[in-house]
Amino acid sequence: MIAKIEKINQESIHNGKEIIEKGGVVAFPTETVYGLGVSAYNGKGVSQVFEVKGRPNDNPLIVHIADISDVSLVTSNFTNLARTLLEHFAPGPITVVVDKGDKIADEVTAGLDSVGIRIPELQSARDFIKATKVPLAAPSANTSTRPSPTTAQAVFEDIGSKIPLILDGGACEVGIESTVVDCRFETPIILRSGKITREDIEKVWGSCDVATNTSTVRSPGVKYKHYSPSCKMLAMNTSNKVLVETTVNKLVKAGETVVLIGNETLKDTSFVEFINLGTTVDDFMKYYYEALRTGEKLGSIIVCVLPFTENHAEGLYNRVRKSCGGDIV
Ligand code: AMP
Ligand code: MG
């Protein structure tokens, strides 16, 4: 099989809908990353998604709906907290975890009695979900452990030989996955960080916890290797150009081909391929995964330089730590 890449429009949405109706899988754009969609009611179809991605089957999928009025298709216990967060942040990059409804296939939630619900902000994504008339279970449309795809081409690179159709909506605006929030208790608990921060949620609800390492078993996905390029990677938090140059020079002397990713101030660094991630935290999130995919083709090691601290950039820091499998120095 070789995936067709079709610009997302009425006609391609119709083609995608027909595949979903038969229990097949279709990759589609959202504002966060590209998703690999399947009917959340079709257990067999959902199993295919795990196979295509090589995803561990204890890692649950998020269910996507087109409108808040469709939550009853996914849960019969929509908590006040979940409603408040969706009313405030959705459509947008947030996933609320609530009790799983009976019709959702057990494969979607990997046997958990809870389910994650998201309403994407991208209009064409919602048009596609609406056309299928079912909630769509959709993880990121990459091979497990790889950087998530933020373009149709990146989806094709990873899984183009395993799926029939990729709906192309251009480059994703947000660029990292949604903030996943457990909404089953009094206080929201962030299970996976994202563009929407703890502070954003506190402003709406008054309180918000973040799952600690010992409690991350609540969100099975966070324990796995994730978002990693095929080459080595090192990450630094600094605005000191000299420090970056010293680090790069050491690596070059050791025989490495260095790809430097960071802001414009680093563009003249010698002996590297440079990829500009922009200036703001939002820019860095938007261009990060694509830079990893370009970088792995150009060098033997990627050096990622973060010029800002973790404060207000918790989602980005989380992805960068996972990508390099260690600390940011
Ligand atoms: P991905 O599909 O690659 O964006 O990953 C989905 C993330 O959401 C993983 O970290 C999952 O563990 C998490 N997730 C999905 N459903 C649930 C759930 N019911 N409870 C806790 N975490 C969930
Ligand atoms: Mg993923």
* Stretch (H or E) spanning 106: none
Q: What is the per-residue pLDDT for 225?
A: 74
Estimate the crossing angle of helix 198-205 against helix 80-89, to 10 degrees. Answer: 120
Q: Kindly report, residue by residue over 48-76, the tens digit of the pLDDT.
A: 999 999 999 999 999 999 999 999 999 99
How many Cα atoms are found within 13 Å in the side-chain-facing hemisphere of 54? Answer: 11
Closest CA to 170 of 4, 33, 16: 33
**Which ligand is nearest to the Cα of residue 113, counting in written order?**
1
Among the atoms of ligand 1, which is closest to the Cα of residue 116?
A: 16
Give the pocket of ligand 1 (CB within 6 Å): 59-62, 97, 109, 112, 114-116, 139-140, 177, 180, 191-192, 218-222
Q: What is the per-residue pLDDT for 223?
A: 67
C-alpha to C-alpha distance for 313 and 165, rounded to whole angstroms = 34
Pocket test for ligand 1, best of 33, 59, 136 (most atoms within 8 A of CB): 59
**Which ligand is nearest to the Cα of residue 32, counting in written order?**
1
Among the atoms of ligand 1, which is closest to the Cα of residue 100?
A: 19
Among the atoms of ligand 1, which is closest to the Cα of residue 35?
A: 2
Q: Kindly report, residue by residue over 265-319, the tens digit of the pLDDT.
A: 999 999 999 999 999 999 999 999 999 999 999 999 999 999 999 999 999 999 9
Q: What percent of the chain is modeled with pLDDT above 90?
A: 94
Q: What is the per-residue pLDDT for 220?
A: 73
Q: What is the per-residue pLDDT for 153?
A: 98
From the CA atom positions of the chain, what is the Rg in Å? 20
How large is the average pLDDT for residues 37-52? 98
C-alpha to C-alpha distance for 13 and 25, rounded to whole angstroms = 13
Q: What is the per-residue pLDDT for 253?
A: 98
Q: What is the per-residue pLDDT for 145?
A: 96
Indicate if the pLDDT at residue 218 is higher than 80. Answer: no
Residue 132: CB atoms within 10 Å = 22
Q: What's the residue count for the chain?
A: 329
Q: Kindly report, residue by residue over 219-246, the tens digit of the pLDDT.
A: 777 767 799 999 999 999 999 999 999 9
Domain covering 232-324, topology = Rossmann fold (3.40.50)
Ion ligand 2 — residues with CB under 5 Å?
140
Pocket test for ligand 1, best of 180, 183, 195, 218 (most atoms within 8 A of CB): 180
Q: What is the per-residue pLDDT for 214?
A: 58
String of b and e for 84-97 (b: at least 16 CB within 10 Å)?
Answer: bbbeebbbbbbbbb
**Preceding amide of 147 cis, omega within 30:** no
As a three-state string, the secondary structure of 125-139 is: HHHHHHHHCCCEECC
Indicate if the pLDDT at residue 215 is higher than 60. Answer: no
Chain centre distance of CA 180: 10
CB of 288 within 8 A of CB of 277? yes
Indicate if the pLDDT at residue 141 is higher than 70. Answer: yes
Indicate if the pLDDT at residue 143 is higher than 70. Answer: yes
**Domain range list for the chain:** 4-210, 232-324
Q: Kindly report, residue by residue over 167-202, the tens digit of the pLDDT.
A: 999 999 999 999 999 999 999 999 999 999 999 999
Q: Quote the ligand 1 centre to 248 CA distance (angstroms).
A: 36
Q: What is the per-residue pLDDT for 281?
A: 98
The residues facing 117 across adjacent strands are 63, 96
Among the atoms of ligand 1, which is closest to the Cα of residue 177?
A: 4
Mean pLDDT computed over every residue of the chain? 96
Token code pair at residue 28: 């589609």
Closest CA to 102 of 131, 76, 138: 76
**Which ligand is nearest to the Cα of residue 143, counting in written order?**
2
**Which ligand is nearest to the Cα of residue 148, counting in written order?**
2
Class of domain 4-210: alpha beta
Residue 67: CB atoms within 10 Å = 12
Q: Quote the ligand 1 centre to 131 CA distance (angstroms).
A: 24
Strand order in the sheet with 26-28: 4-7, 165-168, 26-28, 35-39, 136-137, 62-64, 114-118, 94-99, 179-182, 189-192, 209-210
Q: Is the dihedral of CA 166, 172, 175, 176 positive or negative?
A: negative
CB of 173 within 8 A of CB of 153? no
| DSSP count for the chain of H helices, then E strands | 9, 15
Among the atoms of ligand 1, which is closest to the Cα of residue 114?
A: 19
pLDDT interval class at 326 (50, 70, 90): confident
Chain centre distance of CA 309: 21
Estimate the crossing angle of helix 281-298 against helix 314-324, to 10 degrees. Answer: 20
Report strand pairing: 258-262 vs 301-306: parallel
Q: What is the per-residue pLDDT for 217?
A: 52
